[in-house]
A = this chain, B = another copy of it.
């Protein structure tokens, strides 16, 4: 796989995920505002990936702040960070990465501005490298949950393209495949943006992992026919009670899995858990433009003037989640206690 996002000296480049698989094109960001735009219009998407992008974007923005005064630098950095945080509301990894960069700036109070700029650059590269490492560890922990021969349903794209690399849900699948297990993937196409059809299928085909795409509405049919052994998805934000915000449709998949006695797992780094959020209802759910529903590209498909409602995420109550697969191992219910414990240990 090509890197989802990377530094190229003076600029950042990322794969333009709006164009996959038709075209493999780089999207170039020369300033932090380019990164904000890239996140907003979904050139790059996926909770961990937009965290990495936000960190890199802030390092990029910091480079051109023209001042030698720490106070002035810090003030300008903070403004930029606030702007970055607002790029998309649901995935907490974005905020987590912004906060981590901000903390570094605060810790370096009084240090010459040039050194802080360099440190921010290194930090953004560290966040990227750590994310890939975390995903590999998620893969190793998740591996145990995958039977030797199994068909795994996944929703949206929680793969290499959604992260620094390797993937969370697809990381588990990759790890199982690399360990010699015979895995097959059923990918929900994931309307309206078709991440499953365009990105997940693309990634898995590159790795020679068998994949079949279905309409989102066929998942239940396959489950009822006992053609799915387990479900693994990623997450955009997890509340301390185990409620999971993820791509719209995840809740439906989880309910159907429960109804059919199929385990439903969420694979995510610990940075996806928001300790400030007690339950899923508190997570802000982004609503995107209706035209994602009634247009295909520039072409109007629905009747002119039709109303559409387009929430980008939904909340899956923790009771439907059999385990959360993290880089530190599995978290199982009761989530409230287990999540507190894991962060206490940290």
Contact = CB atoms under 8 A, between A and B. Distances in A.
Interface of A: 21-22, 186, 188-192, 194, 197-198, 201-202, 205, 210-222, 224, 248-249, 251-252, 255-256, 259, 290, 293-294, 296, 300-311, 314-315
Given A189-B191, A303-B21, A307-B211, A248 B218 contact: yes
Interface core residue of A303, A305, A307 (most chain B CB under 10 Å): A303
Interface core residue of A188, A252, A315 (most chain B CB under 10 Å): A252
Contact of A197 (B211, B256, B293): B293
A216 B216 CA distance: 7
Given A201-B306, A213-B290, A220-B252, 11 more contacts: A21-B303, A22-B301, A190-B217, A191-B191, A198-B301, A205-B303, A211-B306, A217-B248, A220-B249, A221-B315, A224-B251
Nearest to A193: B215
B296 A215 contact: no
Oligomer: number of copies: 2
Contact of A216 (B202, B205, B217, B309): B217
A284 to B, nearest CB: 14
Given A218-B248, A293-B189, A213 B308 contact: yes
Contacts of A215: 191-192, 216, 248-249, 293, 310
Contacts of A210: 307
B22 A300 contact: yes
Q: Interface residues of A: mostly helix, strand, loop or mixed? A: mixed
A133 to B, nearest CB: 28
In order of increasing CB-CB distance, the 7 nearest A-B pairs are A217-B249, A220-B252, A221-B314, A21-B303, A191-B215, A212-B307, A197-B302
B214 A252 contact: no
Interface core residue of A22, A190, A290, A302 (most chain B CB under 10 Å): A302
A301 B197 contact: yes
B189 A219 contact: no
Nearest to A197: B302
21 contacts: A21-B304, A191-B191, A191-B216, A191-B217, A197-B302, A210-B307, A212-B309, A213-B293, A213-B302, A214-B310, A218-B310, A220-B251, A221-B248, A221-B314, A221-B315, A222-B309, A224-B251, A224-B314, A224-B315, A255-B256, A259-B259
